[in-house]
């Protein structure tokens, strides 16, 4: 699928991401998993530094404490996702192209449930871009489902593969792990998920 048709699909799918409806009953479990990890990395992120969330979708606020919202720039190639996203700062841009920011602009780069929509080659280039836009000692937090098999997915999320490429780019990797989460509503269609987490620091 071309980027253009994927972008159109995300535009029409945007309303389902305002409240994470597409994730079904497991949505609050995934949200709290991501919140827990973002709270941890925020503790080691300079208080006034900016944050960029890549493939931000429509519901970025669910993942960060309210005090962090004014510091976040949500980046997405879907203008409809960003129209529905109440974050104050948003940018329509491609994750697979050079990021539209100056070097050393951010204390934290995050990406949640969006990494699988790029190919391995695009990941390698984006990792270099993340290194460029991060401040010294800035942090990267990547979280995604390991497997989901949406038609527009281009790769599977491998914490080990990403850790290896982050090291090659000059990052020091703090976490590269997987965790199974489960909805308390066991009777629903989608009630388990395997999530991968990568945390790395610019050396
Ligand atoms: C599954 S949604 C996740 C959205 C959000 N991170 C969340 O967790 O709710 C994937 C997001 O990645 C965005 N995306 C996919 N490919 C992209 C690309 N090449 N450049 C920028 N954004 C992209 C989509 O528009 C969509 O908003």
Structure-token match 């982050």, residue found: 166
- Token look-up 């997987």 returns 178
User: Please, what are the domains in the chain?
Assistant: 3-202 (3.40.50.150)
Q: What percent of the chain has pLDDT over 70?
A: 96
- pLDDT-based confidence at residue 4 (cuts at 50, 70, 90): confident
> What mean pLDDT is reported for the chain?
93
20-59 residue pLDDT tens: 887 878 888 999 999 999 999 999 999 899 999 999 999 9
Question: Is the model more confident about 5 or about 101?
Answer: 101
Strand locations in 113-158, DSSP E? Answer: 134-145
Q: How far is the CA of 6 from the centre of ligand 1 (A)?
A: 10
Determine if ligand 1 sits within 6 Å of the CB of residue 59.
yes
User: Mean per-residue pLDDT for 122-148?
Assistant: 95
Between CA 192 and CA 198 the distance in angstroms is: 20
Helices 120-133/159-169 angle, 10° precision: 50
Q: Is the CB of 63 under 6 A from ligand 1?
A: no
pLDDT exceeds 70 at position 138: yes
Sequence-ordered list of residues with C-beta below 8 angstroms from that of 75, at least 6 positions apart, any chain: 52, 53, 54, 55, 56, 90, 91, 93, 95, 99
Please name which of 141, 143, 148, 142 lies closest in space to residue 192, comparing C-alpha atoms: 148
Enter the pTM of the model: 0.96
User: 179, 195 in Cβ contact below 8 A?
Assistant: yes
Per-residue confidence (pLDDT) for residue 183, from 0 to 100: 80
CA distance 68 to 43: 11
Separation between Cα atoms, residue 200 and residue 189, nearest integer Å:
34
Q: What is the pLDDT of residue 189?
A: 52
Query: How would DSSP label each residue in 51-78?
Result: EEEET-TT-GGGGS-GGGGGGEEEEES-
The residue whose CB lies within 8 Å of the most ligand 1 atoms, and thus the one to mutate among 21, 33, 55, 119, is 55
Ligand 1 pocket test, candidate residues 3, 5, 10, most atoms within 8 A of CB: 10
Digit-coded pLDDT (tens) for 150-203:
778 899 999 999 999 999 999 999 999 999 998 877 555 567 889 999 999 998
């Amino acid at each position: 699928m071309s980027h253009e048709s994927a972008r159109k699909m995300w535009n029409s799918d945007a309303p389902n991401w305002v409240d994470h409806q597409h994730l079904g009953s497991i949505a609050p479990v995934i949200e709290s998993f991501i919140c827990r990890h973002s709270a941890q990395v925020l503790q080691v992120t300079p208080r006034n530094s900016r944050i960029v969330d890549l493939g931000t979708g429509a519901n970025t606020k669910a993942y960060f404490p309210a005090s962090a919202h004014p510091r976040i720039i949500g980046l997405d190639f879907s203008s409809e996702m960003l129209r529905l996203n109440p974050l104050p700062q948003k940018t329509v841009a491609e994750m697979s192209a050079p990021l539209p920011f100056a070097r050393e602009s951010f204390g934290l780069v995050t990406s949640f449930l969006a990494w699988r929509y790029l190919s391995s080659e695009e990941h390698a280039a984006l990792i270099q871009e993340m290194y460029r836009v991060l401040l010294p000692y800035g942090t990267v937090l990547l979280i995604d489902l390991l497997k989901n098999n949406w038609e527009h997915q281009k790769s599977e999320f491998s914490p080990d593969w990403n850790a290896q490429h982050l090291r090659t780019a000059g990052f020091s990797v703090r976490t590269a792990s997987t965790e199974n989460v489960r909805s308390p509503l066991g009777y629903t269609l989608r009630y388990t998920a395997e999530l991968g987490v990568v945390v790395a620091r610019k050396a």
